[in-house]
Amino acid sequence: MQHKVLTALFFYATGSYQKLIGAANNISQKIYSVYIEQKRNILGWFYRKYGIPGVVGCIDGSQMASIYTPNHSGRIVVPRQEEEHLYYSRKHYHSLNVQMVCDDEYRILNVNSKFGGANHDSFIFENSDMKNNLKSLHQNGEIVWLLGDSGYPQRPWLMTPILDAEPNNIYNEKHMRARVVIENTFSRLKNRWRCLHKDRVLHYKPLKYSRIILACSVLHNIVINFGIDNIEEDMGQQLADILTKPLPAVSFQYLRPKMGLE
């Protein structure tokens, strides 16, 4: 478990491919086999359910607004005034445009939270390690791809809807239904960890908020991996209420035996 946690955290932080991660963390061949099996499961699920081969995940971007500006017009502490335009999104508030890739079980496979809300999804993807990794896989003969919406460019490793297709186009219909999984992933993530919700006002600079997003993504996966999907989606708010609730006054003399000090 320790190796798997380290591997996951390394992957979220760097976007490095599994072979590099394995070398960095001395992961055994047995653990590699588990990861390979997980990839096969993803490929199999998308093909069985939607008839689309080669799919290793779905990709999309989401505006996460926790940027707070000095004039209170947004929710991020912008580091310098000349950079503020990079964080002002098309939805008219300051945010990070967070790119994520998920599998069929809403598990987050990749996070890129480095770009401000003014950046387009396609720009973020073209400047990401994820694109370079997928391109490298294709060059090495491994034909897999992500599913993305029309905001992304069509690439051999990124399948998007067919533009100006007939209303009854079968591919677009299957593509749209399969890609819903990434939209649901964002919804679950934000509803479970309320600090990511746009109605929250967090007084953090972009770098710190980016780290909060990464932490919530890891926790999101832990919930899935331990099979506790029935957890309350507003648990973030419940935890906040518990942590901010005043504690009753308790005598230290009473606590000493409880703490094993006597």
Q: Check: pTM over 0.75? Answer yes or no.
A: no
- The residues, ordered by sequence, that sit 6+ positions from 18 with a Cβ below 8 Å of its Cβ are 11, 32, 35
Asked whether residue 92 carries a pLDDT value surpassing 50, the answer given is yes
pLDDT of residue 202: 60
Describe the crossing of helices 206-225 and 170-192 by its angle, rounded to 10 degrees: 100
* Tens of pLDDT, residues 148-177: 999 999 999 999 998 887 866 889 999 999
Q: Residue ranges per domain, the chain? A: 53-243
Residue 181 has pLDDT above 70, yes or no: yes
Of these ranges, 60-74, 85-99, 145-159, 207-221, the one predicted with the greatest mean pLDDT is 145-159
Query: Which of the residue ranges 79-88, 135-144, 188-197, 239-248 has the most confident prediction, judged by mean pLDDT?
Result: 135-144
Q: How far is CA 58 from CA 3, 15, 121, 185, 186, in A?
A: 26, 16, 13, 10, 12
